A and B are shown apart, each in its own frame.
Chain A
């Protein structure tokens, strides 16, 4: 499952810094002869907020899957919290897309959050119940979810569910937070609430955030750097470096206009395929996943 654990460090590129929260060196991911991204070098420092952008199928979600240890890299090395990616690393938090949970599912908000703490452990967990309850209560308080913590999750609104998701990811006190389109299908107010919660966490605990999104504007004020993936190519840099007409035209290899309107960034493409505003796919599910 892990990626090149024993690979000798490549002397041509600087070795991964020991303090980086996430570090990729020459990372390449391909399915058959289709390359999602190639020769990706990226160091994410603790407390940094990185937005991962790109059109559908550009491998944004796959990058998170690599870091979660669910997919091996085709080439190159990856390290996260100083270790090779492996399944179930406690120091990594994960916030998925908002996806309507079935109304009938037998689960309360506090159970969802609790599973983030110890759902991976064997047994039924009767020991330490009181301690667990206190931790869950603290996590619920931190996202303002106490009012609906005992309601069935399937009955909650998308915004309420995503707040629980953030609590679920943060309860294990992660050093890196991987977010896969956590704002998708939320209204504007809830987008702000959820992104503010994530921002608050990284400032308070110096947690690195990798935030996959198809829409930069809701998180633009929070973003330190952008990783923009297009068709196997990529750019990394500050928003004002990456989100320019010149850079994105080079990246897309097509004329693209980047328009700034009232502090928002809009990418206007000659081809409709560049449109970023469509809701997404349920994951870049490609052959060989799972």
Chain B
């Protein structure tokens, strides 16, 4: 562990192309996760993200077995999962149980597929906990291309999507196509999740997709500010996690999750402190109810 702060070694490793590629991949992923995160949190989709990531593992395992590109397999698995989850759970009341059922089955299939695969065990492990340093140029191109696509679609649908996410009933009444936006957003999340599976692995994708956004939403209610903060937190976690993992040669996932969780704890404490301060000032707003401007 004393290698953790061996900056010379870190600087040395940064010379390598594959390390730079990994950092670039992490930066792209952090941006995507940060931008999507607050909407995922608003829509209560954390478990759906988890389900989608597990099922992208199934897709990756299938691709491994079939001998096609694992990244594309994971992508296909995540998109299918996002669509299936979106279509099967149209009511929020049974959303979680649908995800649970589909997720368990999908993981079982993935395990079976890996068992069929005759190759090395490290490949199997990589899909679960990530192996970002194995990202090659082709994967980077796929990652970049998908990221640009996701961001463009999100830019186009952002306002009605936010409306539908936080205030679905009025959004519907105002003509927002809420039924169309849900599956579109699910696919965007699915793509981003599949890309995350490549880098931090299926099991830890939540560390980038959910934790930074949840932390940001703890300390601000401004949707725009929450998005900016979530991007910053996700970048710090993803890029910082890789940098820290370089010298000790430890798994990237451990550092990414540790950093994002630390940020979350700090934001949580900050929000508690602010709440306590806010309660003392809260007298103002109840007085405003008692003497409403309109009745004067």
B289: A residues at CB distance < 8 A:
157, 159-160, 189-190, 193
B38: A residues at CB distance < 8 A:
106
Given A106-B38, A144-B288, A290-B179, is A70 in contact with B159 using a C-beta cutoff of 8 Å? Answer: no
B284: A residues at CB distance < 8 A:
147
Stretch at the interface among A13-21, A109-117, A230-238, A250-258: A109-117
Given A193-B292, A193-B295, is A108 in contact with B156 using a C-beta cutoff of 8 Å? Answer: no
Given A69-B175, A196-B295, is A123 in contact with B159 using a C-beta cutoff of 8 Å? Answer: yes
Which single residue of chain B is at the shortest CB-CB distance from A95? B170
Stretch at the interface among B23-31, B47-55, B186-194, B214-222: B214-222
Given A106-B221, A120-B163, is A144 in contact with B174 using a C-beta cutoff of 8 Å? Answer: no
A121 CA / B45 CA spacing, docked (Å): 24
Instruction: Give the residues from 83 to 142 in chain A that come closer than 8 angstroms, CB to CB, to chain B.
Output: 86-89, 94, 96, 99, 101, 104-108, 111-112, 115-116, 118-125, 141
Given A119-B163, A197-B294, is A106 in contact with B223 using a C-beta cutoff of 8 Å? Answer: yes
Q: Let me know if A94 and B174 touch, CB within 8 A.
A: yes
B41: A residues at CB distance < 8 A:
104, 106
A165: B residues at CB distance < 8 A:
170
Given A148-B288, A151-B221, is A120 in contact with B294 using a C-beta cutoff of 8 Å? Answer: no
Q: Let me know if B294 and A144 touch, CB within 8 A.
A: yes
A155 CA / B66 CA spacing, docked (Å): 52
Indicate the member of B162, B173, B295 with the most A CB atoms within 10 Å.
B173
A41 shortest CB reach to chain B, Å: 24
A221 CA / B38 CA spacing, docked (Å): 44
Which single residue of chain A is at the shortest CB-CB distance from B214? A104
B165 shortest CB reach to chain A, Å: 9
Contact of B163 among A115, A147, A190 (CB under 8 A): A115
Q: B3 in the interface, Cβ–Cβ < 8 Å?
A: no
What mask results when residues 273 to 284 of chain B are scored 1 for a CB within 8 Å of chain A, else 0? 000000000001
A178 shortest CB reach to chain B, Å: 8
B220: A residues at CB distance < 8 A:
106
B226 shortest CB reach to chain A, Å: 5
Q: Size of chain B's interface in residues, with CB distance under 8 A?
A: 38
Q: A246 in the interface, Cβ–Cβ < 8 Å?
A: no
Given A68-B173, A125-B159, is A115 in contact with B167 using a C-beta cutoff of 8 Å? Answer: yes
Instruction: Give the residues from 161 to 179 in chain B that come closer than 8 angstroms, CB to CB, to chain A.
Output: 162-163, 166-167, 169-176, 179
Q: Let me know if B169 and A96 touch, CB within 8 A.
A: yes
A160: B residues at CB distance < 8 A:
285, 289
Which single residue of chain B is at the shortest CB-CB distance from A68? B173
Q: Let me know if A122 and B221 touch, CB within 8 A.
A: no
Q: B251 in the interface, Cβ–Cβ < 8 Å?
A: no
A68: B residues at CB distance < 8 A:
173
Q: Let me know if B295 and A192 touch, CB within 8 A.
A: yes
Q: Let me know if B170 and A123 touch, CB within 8 A.
A: no
What mask results when residues 180 to 208 of chain A are scored 1 for a CB within 8 Å of chain B, else 0? 00000000011011001100100000000
B155: A residues at CB distance < 8 A:
123-124
Q: B42 in the interface, Cβ–Cβ < 8 Å?
A: yes
Q: A58 in the interface, Cβ–Cβ < 8 Å?
A: no
B172: A residues at CB distance < 8 A:
70
A247 CA / B158 CA spacing, docked (Å): 51
Q: B101 in the interface, Cβ–Cβ < 8 Å?
A: no
Q: Let me know if B290 and A108 touch, CB within 8 A.
A: no
A123 CA / B226 CA spacing, docked (Å): 18
What mask results when residues 211 to 246 of chain B are scored 1 for a CB within 8 Å of chain A, else 0? 000000100111100100000000000000000000
A105 shortest CB reach to chain B, Å: 5
Indicate the member of A68, A99, A107 with the most B CB atoms within 10 Å.
A107
A147: B residues at CB distance < 8 A:
284-285, 288
A151 CA / B286 CA spacing, docked (Å): 13
Q: Let me know if B285 and A151 touch, CB within 8 A.
A: yes
A243: B residues at CB distance < 8 A:
none
Q: B160 in the interface, Cβ–Cβ < 8 Å?
A: yes
A125: B residues at CB distance < 8 A:
159
Q: A29 in the interface, Cβ–Cβ < 8 Å?
A: no
A239: B residues at CB distance < 8 A:
none
Q: B149 in the interface, Cβ–Cβ < 8 Å?
A: no
Q: Let me know if B288 and A118 touch, CB within 8 A.
A: no
B294: A residues at CB distance < 8 A:
143-144, 193, 196-197, 200
What mask results when residues 238 to 265 of chain B are scored 1 for a CB within 8 Å of chain A, else 0? 0000000000000000000000000000
Given A69-B175, A147-B284, A157-B289, is A108 in contact with B163 using a C-beta cutoff of 8 Å? Answer: no
B78 shortest CB reach to chain A, Å: 25
A183 CA / B116 CA spacing, docked (Å): 62
User: Can you report 25 residue pairs joining A to B where beta carbons are below 8 Å apart?
Assistant: A70-B173, A88-B176, A106-B38, A106-B220, A106-B222, A107-B221, A108-B221, A115-B171, A119-B167, A120-B159, A120-B175, A122-B159, A144-B293, A147-B284, A147-B285, A148-B285, A150-B221, A156-B285, A157-B285, A157-B286, A160-B285, A163-B292, A168-B170, A189-B290, A192-B295
Besides A120-B175, A193-B295, A196-B295, 6 new A-B residue pairs in contact (Cβ under 8 A), listed by A number: A107-B167, A107-B221, A115-B166, A122-B157, A125-B159, A153-B221
